[in-house]
Amino acid sequence: MERLSHLFSPIRIRNVELVNRAVIPPMGTNLGRKDGTVSDALIAYIRRRAASGPGLIITEITAVHPTGSVINTELGIHDDRFIPGLKTLADTIHAGGAKAAIQLHHGGRECFFHLTKGRALGPSAIPSLIYGVAPKEMTLDDIHEIVTAFGVSAARAREAGFDIVEIHGAHGYLLCQFLSELSNQRQDEYGSSMKSRARFVVEVIREVRRNVGDDFPISLRLSIEESIKGGYTVEDMLTVVPDFVGAGVDIIHASLGTYGSPGGVTSAPVEYEPGFNAWRARKVKDVVNIPVIAVGRFSDPAFADEVIGRGDADMVSFGRQFLADPDFLNKARQGRAEEIRTCIACNQGCIERLMFEGKTIRCAINPETGQETTYPLPEQKSPKKVWIAGAGPAGLTAAYEASRLGHEVTVFEKDDVVGGQIRYAGMPPFKDVYLKWIHWLENQAVKGGAKIRTGEPLTREMLASERPDAVIVATGGEKMVPPIEGIDLPHVCDAWQILSGEVSPGRSVLIIGGGLIGMEVADFLCGKAPAVTVVEALPTSPVSKLTSHGYMLHRRLRQGGCSLIFGITVTRITPDSVRLCTADEERELSPVDQVVVAVGLTPRQELKAILEELCIPFTLVGDAAEPRRIIEATEEGARAAWDL
């Protein structure tokens, strides 16, 4: 069979033919301007994604009404002044060979700055699950105004050159709020039953169809299941999906959950299997006769091809995978699947950076993402002799980027294997994709010309003798050892010894440190040790349940019987117990036959003084600068290479 024949086959929707079944779904970027117009950075970001040749690109949420934007950089389409920028966006997509769709959006009650000013709208005056503030209940005049806004915005999209419009009816935004009994408790014709709650969506679809005409495709993105206690189910949704098709929808984009759903299912973390949501797309296909797009942690083109081939969906959305590797479709076409940089579903740059930090989009394993306008291209110039100390995420990223830019790169790694902290971070449940990524990064750096010398630390003698032009210090961190009585007893070990298998699990294990290292060690030990207790000095967990992985980690530890104790410190370790202390009391915990220290790292910077003494230019990156996440390590490693 021809390679990926299902994924790369064309499909026709009304008068629009897509060259293949690969879809880039709408993903927020924060790259829009604060006046809602399209920026050069957004155009560059879209151009880079289009280069791999997807069949359809659906641009990010675009507000159909001034009350509908959820962030101050959300694109607008509620006025003619937005058309020129949107036309440039559509033209950019077309230049890459894809068809262009735009997602029409109203946030309803899920907009903090409208909520705080009393301007947010909702089907009922029920507080947002995220912000805890109630919107204004929409009057019939409000409903008519928003329905009209969707229609005229769709007409603007067509005028701007888009081929398809997508109506956003998912993820807890306004249309989804009307569908859900959790947010819609109206007793008029827009509430009380699933059919009535769907009326608003039907009216929006009809108005959009009236404005774009009969030859123009309409997509509807739905959360096929709300995935929250008391929310609507798949079976509920299947009763109204045919009504949406009857009103004029040509594509169902079958997503899942809301931003209030636990576990971050809308941007599923690594705990979810690739394609985990495809069965819901198949359920939709069973009740309608229009194309259905499957959504849910797709990163492998071969697997997407299988999903389409067996009839579960007609198209597949690759969201975060296009951030991790905007060239992955071309690599798949050319039989170079081993070169694909696979998304690790960490959500650090694409979700957490946007939602919790209010910054622009990034990817933790692809520093180019969100920086397309400044990402340096190789130049014909005198290469520098660049030495890199450390072959963890920061060092290998620096090696990959510096060699890509034409420099002569040598990496010195004191251990016999590469990987740094990723060697251990990849050991807890569901984290093996991290190990696959670090080996991909090693291979790409070597393929680019970098030399990696393992088992060989960078020394003062080597530096003084060879005098490289620049050194990137990515030596990672030193394990912290807290000053606790008994810390040197033979049954005390550290997290890295447990994860590496150097030390076998005990029966009754106490872990000192409730940060990510400690929590993931506990996760690793659940099922291996009969009793696991984590103690943390901070009053609450440093691992936020608001993050997808954090939520899943807390849930697994709770279900696995792990005990988490916060606001307490260990003051003494004995051969079979530990002394715990709070502000009010001291107590003994026993029996304890193993103590695992997981209190984190301090920067390893012994090379800094040597380099300063020798007057060799250097940059500290990753944990060698300050222990943090993967995204900081890769960003700093890349930037050190770009700044050479």
Q: Tell me, what CATH number does 450's domain have? A: 3.40.50.720
Asked whether residue 3 is domain-assigned, the answer is no
- 413-422 per-residue burial string, b: 16 or more CB within 10 A, e: under 16: bbbeebbbbb
pLDDT of 491 above 60 = yes
The pLDDT value given to residue 1 = 38
- Mean predicted confidence (pLDDT) in 245-249: 98
Please give the share of the chain, as a percent, with pLDDT higher than 70: 100
- Full-model pTM: 0.96
Asked whether residue 431 is domain-assigned, the answer is yes
Asked whether residue 376 is domain-assigned, the answer is no
For residue range 266-309, list pLDDT tens digits in order: 899 999 999 999 999 999 999 999 999 999 999 999 999 999 99
Is the bond into 490 cis (omega within 30 degrees of 0)?
A: no
For residue range 544-590, list pLDDT tens digits in order: 998 999 999 999 999 999 999 999 999 999 999 999 998 888 999 99
**How far does the chain reach from its first CA to its final CA, in angstroms?**
47
Asked whether residue 86 is domain-assigned, the answer is yes
The pLDDT value given to residue 380 = 66
Same domain, 595 and 606: no
Amino acid found at 259: Y
Query: Could you give the residue numbers annotated as active site?
Result: 173
Q: Tell me, what CATH number does 535's domain have? A: 3.50.50.60
Same domain, 38 and 175: yes
For residue range 66-102, list pLDDT tens digits in order: 999 999 999 999 999 999 999 999 999 999 999 999 9
Residue that the structure tokens 């419009």 belong to: 165
Q: Burial of 189 by CB count in 10 Å (0-12 exposed, 13-18 middle, 19+ buried)?
A: exposed
* Range of weakest confidence among 9-13, 135-139, 376-380, 501-505: 376-380
Same domain, 519 and 447: no
Asked whether residue 169 is domain-assigned, the answer is yes
Residue that the structure tokens 């991290």 belong to: 434
Of 115, 232, 212, the closest CA to residue 166 belongs to 212
Same domain, 167 and 240: yes
Is the CB of residue 162 less than 8 Å from the CB of residue 86? yes
The pLDDT value given to residue 2 = 67
Domain count, the chain: 3
d(CA 93, CA 58): 10
Asked whether residue 374 is domain-assigned, the answer is no
Q: Residue 24 is inside which H or E element, if any?
A: strand 22-24
Same domain, 284 and 205: yes
The pLDDT value given to residue 237 = 98
For 188: left if phi > 0, alpha if psi spans -120 to 50, otherwise beta; the answer is beta
Q: Tell me, what CATH number does 66's domain have? A: 3.20.20.70
pLDDT of 506 above 90 = yes
Domain final residue pick, 335, 355, 375: 355
CA distances from 221 to 190, 239, 392 (A): 20, 16, 40
Average pLDDT over the chain, rounded to whole?
Answer: 96
pLDDT of 640 above 90 = yes
Same domain, 447 and 503: no
The pLDDT value given to residue 583 = 81
d(CA 149, CA 164): 17
Same domain, 401 and 465: yes
- Mean predicted confidence (pLDDT) in 26-55: 97
Strand 11-13 versus strand 586-589 pairing type: unpaired
Amino acid found at 127: P
For 329: left if phi > 0, alpha if psi spans -120 to 50, otherwise beta; the answer is alpha
The pLDDT value given to residue 206 = 98
Asked whether residue 289 is domain-assigned, the answer is yes
DSSP state for residue 259 in the 8-state scheme = T
Is the CB of residue 283 less than 8 Å from the CB of residue 234? yes
For residue range 327-368, list pLDDT tens digits in order: 999 999 999 999 999 999 999 999 999 989 999 999 999 999
Residue that the structure tokens 């980027």 belong to: 401
Asked whether residue 4 is domain-assigned, the answer is no
- Mean predicted confidence (pLDDT) in 620-636: 97
For residue range 403-419, list pLDDT tens digits in order: 999 999 999 999 999 99
Same domain, 425 and 475: yes
The pLDDT value given to residue 113 = 87
Same domain, 35 and 72: yes
Q: Which residues contact 461 (CB under 8 A, 6 or more apart)?
A: none
CA distances from 82 to 27, 38, 210 (A): 19, 8, 21
E strand spans, 550-629: 563-566, 569-573, 578-581, 586-589, 594-597, 601-603, 618-620
For residue range 548-557, list pLDDT tens digits in order: 999 999 999 9
Catalogue the long-range contacts made by 603-609 (C-beta closer than 8 Å, 24 or more residues apart).
603/477, 603/478, 603/627, 604/475, 604/476, 604/477, 604/478, 605/473, 605/475, 606/475, 607/389, 607/458, 607/471, 607/473, 607/475, 608/473
d(CA 322, CA 326): 5
Amino acid found at 223: S
Same domain, 199 and 333: yes
Same domain, 249 and 201: yes
d(CA 333, CA 8): 9
Structural domain boundaries, residue 576: 492-599
Same domain, 180 and 148: yes
pLDDT of 372 above 60 = yes
